[in-house]
């Protein structure tokens, strides 16, 4: 059947819904742990995605995991594939610019005004948020979040599960590990190991997870 189901129904999901509708698709409902009292898009509640009812309806439509948290998004993704569901769709805003030589994985969101340039590779379940720039030959791991306005110069590598904050800038050729948090506005000039929290200009380590 045609139409989309969103998993998650709060702030990030509202951005996702706008992208789906901007592409002319119909949203048939949402899955959540419980029905939301605030329903700004007037969508039917379809139950928890892992319930018998939720899984049954997810098998009938395309779906998207609209959860902002990287680890929770990955957990839901893995559970659904473990139930032999097809991989979630990728959603791309019509105003985004993506090189024909770039690769964007399943379950990834590409928001308004995003640029993904030549030979970049964006993994599965990634959030490429509003107006971020992913330059040539970047490699973005699975379940990463590139926040609004962040800029990744050419040949940057980002490990799985990393968060790059709003308006952060990563210098060309820098490698960032897995599970890293880059604070908003941070300027990253050198490689970053796994699990580090980095803030400031230039970026300085403040915590190791």
* pLDDT confidence of residue 179: 98
pLDDT (average), residues 6-35: 97
The model carries a pTM of: 0.96
pLDDT score, position 7: 98
Q: In angstroms, rounded to a whole number, what is the distance separating the alpha carbons of residues 183 and 80?
A: 31
Share of the chain above pLDDT 90, in %: 97
pLDDT of 207 > 90? The answer is no
Is 136 an active-site residue? Answer: yes
Interval 104-118 mean pLDDT: 99
Domain limits, the chain: 4-82, 91-208
Q: What is the pLDDT of residues 176-187, one digit of tens each?
A: 999 999 999 999
pLDDT at res. 78: 98
- Mean pLDDT across the stretch 9-22? 97
Inter-residue contact 64 to 20 (CB < 8 Å): yes
In which band, very low, low, confident or very high, does the pLDDT at 68 lie, cut at 50, 70 and 90? very high
CA distances from 124 to 56, 143, 159 (A): 23, 6, 12
3-state class of 34 per DSSP?
A: coil
Looking at domain 91-208, its CATH architecture is 3 Solenoid (2.160)
Distance CA 75, CA 100 (A): 30
* Nearest-5° Cα angle at 124, 123 to 129: 80
* pLDDT recorded at residue 2: 76
**Angle 20-22-26 from CA coordinates, rounded to 5°:** 50
What's the whole-number average pLDDT of the chain? 97
**What is the fold, at CATH topology level, of the domain defined by 4-82?**
Rossmann fold (3.40.50)
Overall average pLDDT of the 7-14 stretch: 97
Q: Catalytic residue among 25, 93, 121, 136, which?
A: 136
Among 121, 127, 87, 128, which Cα is nearest to 104's? 121
pLDDT tens-digit profile of 131-169?
999 999 999 999 999 999 999 999 999 999 999 999 999
Decide if pLDDT at 1 tops 60.
no
Q: How confident is the model at residue 5 (pLDDT cuts 50, 70, 90)?
A: very high
């Amino acid at each position: 059947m045609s139409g989309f189901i969103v998993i998650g129904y709060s702030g990030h999901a509202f951005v996702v819904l706008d992208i789906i509708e901007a592409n002319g698709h119909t949203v048939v409902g949402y899955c959540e742990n419980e029905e939301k009292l605030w329903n700004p898009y007037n969508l039917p509640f379809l139950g928890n995605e892992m319930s018998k009812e939720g899984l049954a309806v997810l098998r009938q439509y395309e779906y998207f995991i609209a959860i902002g948290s990287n680890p929770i998004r990955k957990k839901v993704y893995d559970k659904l594939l473990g139930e032999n569901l097809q991989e979630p769709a990728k959603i791309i805003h019509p105003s985004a610019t993506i090189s024909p030589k770039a690769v964007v994985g399943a379950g990834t969101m590409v928001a308004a005004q995003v640029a993904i340039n030549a030979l970049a590779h964006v993994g599965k379940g990634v959030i490429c948020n509003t107006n971020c720039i992913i330059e040539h030959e970047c490699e973005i791991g699975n379940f990463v979040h590139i926040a609004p306005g962040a800029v990744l110069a050419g040949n940057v590598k980002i490990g799985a599960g990393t968060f790059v904050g709003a308006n952060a800038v990563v210098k060309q050729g820098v490698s960032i590990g897995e599970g890293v948090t880059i604070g908003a506005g941070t300027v990253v000039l050198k490689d970053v190991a796994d699990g580090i929290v980095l803030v400031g200009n230039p970026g300085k380590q403040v915590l190791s997870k």
